[in-house]
């Protein structure tokens, strides 16, 4: 158990809808990263939040957005859902120190199905 | 850009067999290297890591050595068990970066 929790565990939406996924980071961690894992593939970096600000973004469109709260928990929001957004969404927490960050620890994921 | 290449699976072994899963990377600078394991229906669990050349990461009988000269981080275990059946991901991240790069994963099935 990493201490990283995500909710919900599963979600079914239809095309065009919006979804919000939630992540609570491990105690003492100040950084949250989000990844999308399509079936049979490795995770792809969406973005990272540190000190409540976006701290890097992968190759994902603006309809993927996020927040980080003062308690370091985070949300991933996806607008105008498309069928290809169906995937496992993973949250990872870590500690960012001066000069860089430490190991990322992953939550169990939220499986999103878009119909 | 930075990337990780893993041997394609699936890999099927008998219990107590020796396991090697190859991983090579391309990166500028000096990345940290990781192996994560994913059991069916679950998230990723950190298996082991190495942060500099010649470091050996080890955990639960698994080992991997950071080889800068061959840009490799191969995962090995001397005697696999049925409970080791899972998907294994090799990954890298640079200390001043935030984007962890993963390989495509290698599915391991261990038969009794």
pLDDT (tens digit per residue) in A61-104: 999 999 999 999 999 999 999 999 999 999 999 888 776 667 89
pLDDT value, residue B80: 97
Q: Per residue, what are the HEC states of A56-75?
A: EECCCCCCEEEEECCCCCEE
Of A99, A104, A105, the CB nearest to B96: A99
User: How would you label A55-66 residue by residue, b for 16+ Cβ within 10 Å and e otherwise?
Assistant: bebbeeeeebbb
Mean pLDDT of B75-87: 97
Extract the tokens encoding A68.
């980080």
Which helix (H) or strand (E) segment holds residue A114: the answer is strand A110-114
> Of A106 and A103, which is predicted with more confidence?
A106
| Separation CA B10–CA A67 (nearest Å) | 38
Residues of A in contact with B102 (CB under 8 A): 42-44
Angstroms from A16 CA to nearest CA on chain B? 26
Cβ contact, residue pair B43, A90, below 8 Å? yes
Cross-chain CB nearest to B98 (options A6, A88, A101): A101
CB-CB under 8 Å, A99 with B95? yes
Q: Is the pLDDT of residue B50 over 70?
A: yes
C-alpha angle A108-B102-A44 in degrees, rounded to nearest 5: 65
Predicted local confidence at residue B97, as pLDDT: 72
Contact A56 B99 (CB under 8 A): yes
* Interacting residues of B16 by C-beta distance below 8 A, sequence separation 6+: B79, B80, B81
């Amino acid at each position: 158990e990493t201490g990283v929790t995500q909710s919900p565990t599963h979600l079914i939406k239809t095309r065009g809808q919006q979804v919000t996924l939630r992540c609570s980071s491990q105690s003492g961690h100040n950084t949250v990263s989000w990844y999308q894992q399509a079936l049979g593939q490795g995770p792809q970096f969406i973005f990272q939040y540190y000190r409540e600000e976006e701290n890097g973004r992968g190759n994902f469109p603006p309809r993927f957005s996020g927040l980080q709260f003062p308690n370091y928990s985070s949300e991933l929001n996806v607008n105008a859902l498309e069928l290809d957004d169906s995937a496992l969404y993973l949250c990872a927490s870590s500690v960012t120190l001066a000069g860089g960050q430490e190991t990322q620890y992953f939550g169990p994921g939220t499986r999103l199905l878009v119909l | 850009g930075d990337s990780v290449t893993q041997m394609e699976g699936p890999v099927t072994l008998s219990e107590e067999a020796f396991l090697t899963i190859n991983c090579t990377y391309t990166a500028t600078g000096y990345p940290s290297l990781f192996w994560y394991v994913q059991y069916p229906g679950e998230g990723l669990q950190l298996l082991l890591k190495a942060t500099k050349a010649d470091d050996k990461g080890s955990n639960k009988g698994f080992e991997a050595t950071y080889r800068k000269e061959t840009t490799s981080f191969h995962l090995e275990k001397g005697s696999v068990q049925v409970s080791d059946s899972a998907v294994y991901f090799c990954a890298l991240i640079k200390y001043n970066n935030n984007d962890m790069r993963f390989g495509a994963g290698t599915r391991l099935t261990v038969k009794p």
